[in-house]
């Protein structure tokens, strides 16, 4: 099955914004720009509201918090019905996504000027 993946990184608080930017850069580099990666900075809303809003838009969710700093772990929730968040090492996540047969998106560029990543 060929799929197109769009992820949003949701930091649990403003304290993890720099970590979210670091993760965004790492994922874009390691995944060769094959996926769209955005960062949510809507800290005025509750975490569950932020997650639900992005899921309603069809995005896969990555949440980032203290476990990223402590042991390089993220929580990932794919936008499938019934999908539960799964805590995983960043490298395991990269390996998993690289194993997918991903549809190329013409809107995702692989050059330095347009990284295919957006902060919202």
How far does CA 18 lie from the centroid of its chain?
Answer: 14
What is the per-residue pLDDT for 70?
Answer: 96
Coil, strand or helix at 58: coil
CA dihedral 97, 24, 65, 19 (to 10 degrees): 150
Compute the distance between CA of residue 17 and CA of residue 15 in angstroms, rounded to an integer: 6
Ordered domains of the chain (ranges, CATH): 6-119 (3.40.50.800)
Compute the distance between CA of residue 65 and CA of residue 45 in angstroms, rounded to an integer: 16
pTM score: 0.81
What is the per-residue pLDDT for 104?
Answer: 54
Sites in the chain below the pLDDT cut of 70: 1-4, 81, 102-120
């Amino acid at each position: 099955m060929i799929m197109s993946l769009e992820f949003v990184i949701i930091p649990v608080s403003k304290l993890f914004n720099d970590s979210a930017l670091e993760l965004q850069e790492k994922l874009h580099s390691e995944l060769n720009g094959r996926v769209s990666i955005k960062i949510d900075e809507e800290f005025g809303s509750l975490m569950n509201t932020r997650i639900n809003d992005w899921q309603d838009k069809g995005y896969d969710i990555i949440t980032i918090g203290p476990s990223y700093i402590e042991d390089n772990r993220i929580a990932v929730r794919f936008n499938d019905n019934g999908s539960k968040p799964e805590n995983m090492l960043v490298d395991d996540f990269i390996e998993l996504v690289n194993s997918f047969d991903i549809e190329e998106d013409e809107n995702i560029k692989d050059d330095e000027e347009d990284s295919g990543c957006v902060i919202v």
